Amino acid sequence: MGGSAKLYREQIADLRSGFRLDDDERFGARVAALARPLIEQAKREYPESAAWDWELHTTTDGDANAYAMAGGKMLVSRAYVDQLALTDAELAMLLAHEIMHAVLRHNLKEFGEALRLEPERAKQPFQEFEHDIDNDNALMRKLASFNQRQEMEADREGLMFAVRGGWRPQALAGYFRKLAKHSHYPNFERFDHPSPASRWQAARELAAQLEAGR
Ligand SMILES: [Zn+2]
């Protein structure tokens, strides 16, 4: 998660000018084949998102990982998917997580939380405010636990969303197992993300519950 719509446009433009946008046809086709039905499902389940100009790009640039902006703008990095050796189900889980950030309007909620914490920011020019949300360390620290809850929500809702889309819970949860396994600091909480180990535990428990109910 993270970044503004402006940041997305800038990153897409940078990748395009460096010939790194949608630069692997096979990978792009694989991601699109998995993402398309999930996006159609999102449009049905979250009707306000049907009007969005959904956009999906891929890149081989190793600096990007995967993210979705408000309004359904997504970017997936092949380096990240290769590094974790994701299966189709695991890649679907990653996409479902990103789609949940968008349809649950996590960006907007983060702005709301920032204004609740620092009401005087209502007077700040929006571009500055938007920039600070991702760059001002003091504000980011204050938002960390809120954002971690949003991450857990995107994990949980994303897993259930992908299950409704026909994927097996256990296969989806494999994404979090790989995330924890490949992390150098599986128990370390980053600013805005819960620890990979706790995400894997939550996904494992949810998948077991869902499998039991099948
Ligand atoms: Zn996320």
Q: How far is the CA of 191 from the centre of ligand 1 (A)?
A: 12
Contact 189, 195 (CB under 8 A): yes
Radius of gyration of the chain (CA): 17
Q: How far is the CA of 118 from the centre of ligand 1 (A)?
A: 24
Q: How far is the CA of 96 from the centre of ligand 1 (A)?
A: 10
Mean pLDDT lowest for which of 4-13, 40-49, 50-59, 170-179? 4-13
Contact 203, 155 (CB under 8 A): yes
CA dist., res. 84 & res. 80, Å (int): 6
Q: What mean pLDDT do residues 81-88 have? A: 95
Q: Which residue range forms the structural domain that includes residue 84?
A: 1-214
Considering its fold, how many domains does the chain have in total? 1
Q: How far is the CA of 154 from the centre of ligand 1 (A)?
A: 6
pTM score of the predicted model: 0.92
Q: How far is the CA of 178 from the centre of ligand 1 (A)?
A: 16
